[in-house]
Amino acid sequence: MEKIDYGQIINYHTDKLYNSYEFFGAHLCKHHGRKGVSFRVWAPNATGVSLVGTFNFWNDQANKMEKLGDTGIWQCFFENIGEGEEYKYKILKKDGTTVQKSDPYGFYAEKKPGTSSVVADMDGYEWMDEKWIEKRSGRKFYDGPMNIYEIHPGSWKKHEDESHLNYRELADELVPYLKEMNYNYLELMPVMEHPFDGSWGYQITGYYSITSRYGKPEDLKYLIDKCHQNNIGVILDWVPGHFCRDEQGLLNFDGSELYGHIDHPNWGTKKFNFGRSEVRNFLISNALFYFDKYHVDGLRVDGVTSILHLNFGMEEEIFRNREGGTDDLDGVDFLKEMNTAVFGKYPFAIMAAEESTDWPLVTSPVESGGLGFNFKWNMGWMNDTISYMENDFFFRKNDHDRITFSLHYAFNENFILPFSHDEVVHGKKNLIDKSFGTYEEKFKNLKVLAMYQMTHPGKKLNFMGNEIGQFMEWRYYEEIEWFMLEYPIHDAHREYVKRLNKLYMNEKSLWQQDNSWDGFQWIDADNRDQSMFSYIRWGLDDFIVTVLNFTPNVHEDAWIQVPQEGEYRVILSSDDDKYNGTGSTYKKYIKSERDEFNPDRNIIKIKIPGLSGLMIKKKKTRK
């Protein structure tokens, strides 16, 4: 419990207050020796603000707040109350009307349909993740594996009565599953408070309040803590581009548009006004808040493209910046300021941009002219890959370049390769059902696709359900179709993904040189007629050869060039009978031989089954 200086004055308009959550909102504290809660809110255009809540029976005359100088900040202290009290701010606007608002800095909220903020102690949880905190401080993400499992907390699993698992129940079931399946990062779709389930958390009313749908702040901390104790990092999906228009939220907060700017026509939301220092303080503090109070390891920043462009989603270019262009210059400056602040305090952080255009230098440092992120979702790779997989086998040769093109820009940014929630909703079909072919061929396709993702340069992300070959599109109100694992073909696919994930985590050549040509070499990028691709992933002292066959044609004695003379073995075949394949067998070791047409080249002769992927590794020789 803090002891406050009740006469403290801040300049919220000009100062960079990146810890503003320590000042605003509801805080357990002592004032003149009395225990209670201090409340502070920014409402510069209000003619009066009253604190209303369970503690004063929602009486708007009982606790009128004091205006703090000319800062636009209102405050009051209520003694002998603590956690769990519900409250709002009743704003008297200049036109004489009033509105009740939840706290922009509220740390918790009552369950919907209620919209009140709730007093919460953000410092009472006893963390047990000291080893992880120490370990991550020296972590180098670029030359390490990142295998991310993205989930929607409300629909990964449910109780038999269709109610949500709470954060603690989720932790106790999810963390062992992540370990079993060899994922080392969990990404949570937005857990900030939002009124409409169907927005999936992307239209937020409470930026500092984790949603009460799944429990209290200490319950989410338990989930994150348990992940850390099991060497699993946690990334939160975060939405700083726009906010929900519901009346209790930020919209027209004090009778004027304090936080908002441009209307988003396709989302029905309001874009933040990044030109206001108070808005930047609010959002940058919010990013730091989750690192500070919830020990998160990173943020996936949603909708970066909408932050960078004034007319995002609009049919016409209505808005222009001060230089006559259509870039949101304030949005650009905000992203740079945000990343500078985050990495200045948390240098280990993952800051991943969901940016869908060719905006340059997204993952370059701010001082080098970049936006300052350290990862970017590779949306181009994802779209090209899915488009290729949707093709008839016979016509895939016409789209061969969709697979090879990604290597033209693979090292321009630090990429994450995402098969996320966005690809399995709104009639797009689930990942397995996008693939051309019969029921059995779709599973073969999905296995080749998974191997391609895991052996392509870049970090990895998959949405829940991908690993079991779920056909039904994701529905936020239903759990994953776990019952599908009762069918051998689905269970075999999960076993395949588990094995592939383990190889990815253990084989350094798949991630040790992820962001340069030193880590990748084509063997054959031009086998268009057979729709086959072969390449090498290089580590510092090791390598893996990958061969992908995207047609059902079998090649009994294929010649595959290998970089060194020696003995090779298949460490994973997607056609293995363990994974419901045809059971193609291979010698324990396949000795390389000289290419009779080019004696300078080493080759191995090997069977390439139809619709299959092979990962091949050289036997180590003893020195």
Q: What is the pLDDT of residue 2?
A: 47
Check residue 33 and give its pLDDT: 86
Domain boundary among 118, 143, 178: 118
Length of the chain: 623
229 contacts 129 by C-beta, under 8 angstroms: yes
pLDDT (0 to 100) of residue 143: 79
Task: Tell me what the pLDDT averaged over the chain comes to.
Answer: 94
Domain-located, residue 34: yes
Q: How confident is the model at residue 609 (pLDDT cuts 50, 70, 90)?
A: very high
**Which pLDDT tens digit goes with each residue over 268-289?**
899 999 999 999 999 999 999 9
The answer to whether residue 219 scores a pLDDT higher than 50 is yes
Residue showing tokens 């100088």: 69
Domain that holds residue 97: 2-118
Domain count, the chain: 2
Whether residue 3 contacts residue 27, with contact meaning beta carbons closer than 8 Å, is answered with: no
pTM of the model: 0.96
302 in active site: yes
What percent of the chain has pLDDT above 70? 98
pLDDT tens sequence across 118-164: 999 999 999 999 999 999 987 777 779 999 999 999 999 999 999 99
Q: How confident is the model at residue 588 (pLDDT cuts 50, 70, 90)?
A: confident
Domain endpoint, select from 101, 118, 135? 118
The answer to whether residue 159 sits within a structural domain is: no
**Buried residues in 406-418 as b, exposed as e (16+ CB within 10 A):** bbeebbebbbbbb
| Residue predicted with more confidence, 3 or 177 | 177
pLDDT at residue 623 above 70? no
pLDDT category at 595 given cuts 50, 70, 90 is confident
> pLDDT category, 1, cuts 50, 70, 90?
very low
* Phi, psi of 620, rounded to the nearest 5 degrees: -75, 140
Last residue of a domain, one of 91, 118, 145: 118
CATH number of the domain that residue 602 is part of = 2.60.40.1180
Exactly one of 103, 354, 399, 576 is catalytic; name it: 354
| pLDDT recorded at residue 620 | 84
Q: What is the CATH number of the domain that holds 73?
A: 2.60.40.10
Note the pLDDT tens digit of each residue in 67-126.
988 889 999 999 999 999 999 999 999 999 999 999 999 999 999 999 999 999 999 999
Q: Which of 4-13, 468-477, 510-519, 559-568 has the lowest mean pLDDT?
A: 4-13
In this structure, what are the phi and psi dihedrals at residue 263, rounded to the nearest 5 degrees? -75, 135
* Residue 216's pLDDT band (cuts 50, 70, 90): very high
Q: Is residue 111 part of a domain?
A: yes
What's the confidence (pLDDT) of residue 69? Answer: 85
Across 325-352, average pLDDT? 96
Assess whether pLDDT exceeds 80 at residue 228.
Answer: yes
Question: Does some domain include residue 164?
Answer: no
Element (H, E) at 491: helix 488-506
Q: What is the pLDDT of residue 3?
A: 44
15-73 pLDDT, tens digit per residue, is 788 999 999 999 999 888 899 999 999 999 999 999 999 999 999 998 999 998 888 99
String of DSSP letters for 96-124: S-EEEE--TT-S-BPPTT---EE---TT-
Which pLDDT value is given to residue 10?
A: 63
What pLDDT score was predicted for residue 622? 65
pLDDT of residue 7: 44
State whether residue 538 is helix, strand or coil.
Answer: strand
> CA-based angle 331:332:334, to the nearest 5?
60
The least confident of 10-19, 219-228, 530-539 is 10-19
DSSP state of 608: E
Is 434 inside any structural domain? no
The active-site residue, picked from 302, 330, 413, 467, is: 302
Residue 471 has pLDDT above 70, yes or no: yes
Q: Is residue 171 part of a domain?
A: no
Alpha helix positions (H), 346-411: 379-389, 401-404
- Asked if the structure places residue 474 within a domain, the reply is no
- 14 band by pLDDT with thresholds 50, 70 and 90: confident
Q: Indicate if 354 belongs to the active site.
A: yes
Mean pLDDT of 483-508: 97
DSSP E strands in 157-294: the ranges are 185-188, 192-193, 206-210, 233-238, 242-243, 260-264, 269-272
**Confidence band (pLDDT; 50, 70, 90) for 587?**
confident
Residue 269, in any domain of the structure: no
The candidate with the shortest Cα–Cα distance to 446, out of 559, 580, 538, 333, is 580
